[in-house]
A and B are shown apart, each in its own frame.
Chain A
Amino acid sequence: MKHHIQWGLLPIFLVLGMPVQSQELSAKEIIQKANDRFNGEKTSISTMAMTIVRPSWQRTIEFRNWTSGRDYALTLITAPASERGQTFLKRKNEMWNWNPTIDRLIKLPPSMMSQGWMGSDYTNDDILRESSVVNDYTHEITGEDTIEGRACYRIRMEAKEEAAVIWGHQIRWVDKKDFNFMKSEYYDEDGYLVRTELGKSIQMMDGRLIPTRIELIPAEAEGNKTILEIKEIEFNPPIQDQFFSQQNMKRVR
């Protein structure tokens, strides 16, 4: 009799005893958390090195980057010597370039948007129109994979009809423990893979564990790759709005 009652109550206990914060985050929430690790900050200052890899040559550019939200960014090229001193300013959907060699401020025209920034595989458009991975897509968990030894959610993101995004859909792998984007695949509207991004070298930067080496691999070009390395990053330092101005482009060091 006693056993009977105990067995009967077991399911109730099991249900009540389950941890409240279960792993049943929605796909959208997972993406939100991953996105916030990087882009959710108010401001950031970082030092980065970008290596452009091509079949017969490669080149590395170093720069310092100041950002505020998603709309404002200022980049100062620090190396190599031939490029040093150039600055780029992003304000919402517009980009300017200051070149000290010719003493000219140039606004990048729409026709240049599809070209690579500084000759890399990141296009100017990528930099300017970073669409919201959270708001512009519908999300669905399609499974799990292990990337770089870490268990990840595999999430398929389908672009919403009204959203102004060039990608048809994306597949993203988000690390279950730290919510880093470990791998992303970008597909165009016809369903062809255009680009793959890999997050590597997870390290502690300013108190959080983030991939410090991001490889961008275009699908079409054999042997082409762009590697972005974050040397240091500071999250949420105080930066004034006036910092992101044309005058400051010429002054910043």
Chain B
Amino acid sequence: MNNITIAWRNLWRNRRRTLITSASVLFAVFFALFFRSLQLGSYDKMFRNAIESYTGYLQVQQQDFWDDKTVDNTFRFDSALNRNIIRDPNVIATIPRFESFALASSGPKTKGVLVMGINPEKEEYLSKVPDKLIKYRITTEAIEALKQHADIPAKVVDLALLHKGTSYSTSDRMQVDLGIDDRDAGRLMPTIEQVTRFQNGNIRMGEPGAWVGDRLSQYLELEIGDTLVLISQGYHATTAAGKYVIRGIVKMPLPEIDNKVVYLPLDICQQLFNAEGNLTSLALHVKENSDDAVNATAERIGKLIPENQRVMTWRQMNDVLVSQMQADNYSGMIMIGILYLVIAFGVFGTVLMLTAERKREFGVMVAIGMQKRKLASIMTMEMILIGLLGILAGSVLGTGVILYGVDHPIVFKGAWAKMFEDYGMEPVMAFQGIDFYFLWQMFIVGLIVLISMFYPLQKIFGMKVVNALRA
């Protein structure tokens, strides 16, 4: 009879004890997997949103542009080259842009603004600006109308007063701000939406017109139909100056963008800066956005473009974000580390109890002649088996929950959602699918079990049989 068989039988001689011990290991593995998956998934989503909403994963630029972002460092858009780029297996679409700074003025007020020349349809692939057009605004008239309606509760009207002047591109946020829960939403929201509806408009290629950020429009006291004056320095030191009718107002999630962004149709923007046909960047919308796919695509595109242009990846363009990601990752690991500490005590506590319980049993075994070495060896086997049992069970449970979670991420509503959106993030916590981190978690828990084993082993070797028999 070898030690393993003995160990196995020992386990099942006291089923409850075995199950308790392996349960603590199971929970250890399960929580470790659960939280790590949640962490990794959330970071991934957060950064994906940030990247996709602005720079995209890849951009083609003039070679000096990144270090000196002036209008003089733009490149000519070549439609033949554009077609070649779209033919790349990983590229879905190209998004042309012309970005620069200007002074905007309305009446006596002037402000430095970020002017973005865009193709509104193409931006659906990236920043999705058209989706951010305002649909509702809580104006003074809207509040008056709400007061007239009998079925709108007073506290909703009060909250509306609190949020006077706020604009929304979706109905959900407005619902949250007005403190209406989902039960009443069906009843109340249609009225509210009708009263606060905002007439917005489009900008089109070839037609002078502008979209303005919500906060910017309020600062400059401009509304749809008013004229915005822009002045700046154009290509080759020409004067860039133009007047544009405001066609629409957008609400950008980040306040620092919302208070200074002006969108113009791409060709109108090029004309303003006397740089017709030029772009500051051509962003690429890709199918696969893993680091390997992105880098491979960058290499292939790099061979297609002329000498004076370059391809930049999102890592190169977002070094602040990349640092943030690393910082978040490390802080996440510290959190998991603390979790492990807690888990380790849990496992150790169980092992402690286990050892104390069996003191007499060990004493008898040794008294009748079993070598301590053999006892220790059997004990070790037992612990390993319990550990494996717990890890396996925990992994299976974890996998099940995570796979479910990947398809059904945790969606936040209410005040939590608002907090997320204030940072420009989607109010969602996503799960990361099965990946290498699985092995790591299992390995670490295994390590914890092995370390816990020292206690019983030490007890065995240091045992005074006489005392043990009296336990």
Residues of A in contact with B (beta carbons under 8 Å apart):
52, 54, 57, 59, 82-83, 86, 99, 101-104, 106, 116, 118-120
Contacts and interface: CB of A to CB of B under 8 A. Distances in A.
Nearest to A77: B239
A209 B229 CA distance: 46
B231 A118 contact: no
A102 B242 contact: yes
Given A82-B274, A119-B233, A102 B241 contact: yes
Given A59-B237, A83-B238, 16 more contacts: A57-B236, A82-B238, A82-B274, A86-B239, A99-B241, A102-B229, A102-B231, A102-B241, A102-B243, A103-B243, A104-B229, A104-B231, A104-B241, A118-B237, A118-B239, A119-B238
Interface of B: 105, 229-231, 233, 236-239, 241-243, 274
A60 to B, nearest CB: 11
Contacts of B238: 59, 82-83, 119
Nearest to A57: B236
Contact of B105 (A82, A104, A120): A104
B300 to A, nearest CB: 29
Contacts of B236: 54, 57, 59, 119
Contacts of A59: 236-238
Contact of B239 (A54, A83, A120): A83
A99 B239 contact: yes
A106 B236 CA distance: 22
A52 B274 CA distance: 17
Of B230, B233, B236, B242, chain A has the most CB atoms within 10 Å of the CB of B236
Contacts of B231: 99, 102, 104, 106
30 contacts: A52-B237, A54-B236, A57-B236, A59-B236, A59-B237, A82-B238, A82-B239, A82-B274, A83-B239, A86-B239, A99-B231, A99-B241, A101-B241, A101-B243, A102-B230, A102-B231, A102-B241, A102-B242, A102-B243, A103-B243, A104-B105, A104-B229, A104-B231, A106-B231, A116-B237, A118-B237, A118-B239, A119-B233, A119-B236, A120-B237
The 5 closest A-B pairs by CB, nearest first: A119-B237, A102-B241, A101-B241, A102-B229, A99-B241
A106 to B, nearest CB: 7
Nearest to B238: A82
Contacts of A83: 238-239
Of A52, A82, A102, A106, chain B has the most CB atoms within 10 Å of the CB of A102
Contacts of A116: 237
Contacts of B243: 101-103
A57 B242 CA distance: 24
A57 B237 CA distance: 10
B277 to A, nearest CB: 16
Given A82-B274, A106-B231, A101 B242 contact: yes
Of B230, B237, B238, B243, chain A has the most CB atoms within 10 Å of the CB of B237
B171 to A, nearest CB: 38
Contacts of B239: 82-83, 86, 99, 118
A107 to B, nearest CB: 11
A116 B238 CA distance: 12
A106 B110 CA distance: 11
Contacts of A118: 237, 239
A108 to B, nearest CB: 11
Contacts of A101: 241-243
Nearest to A119: B237
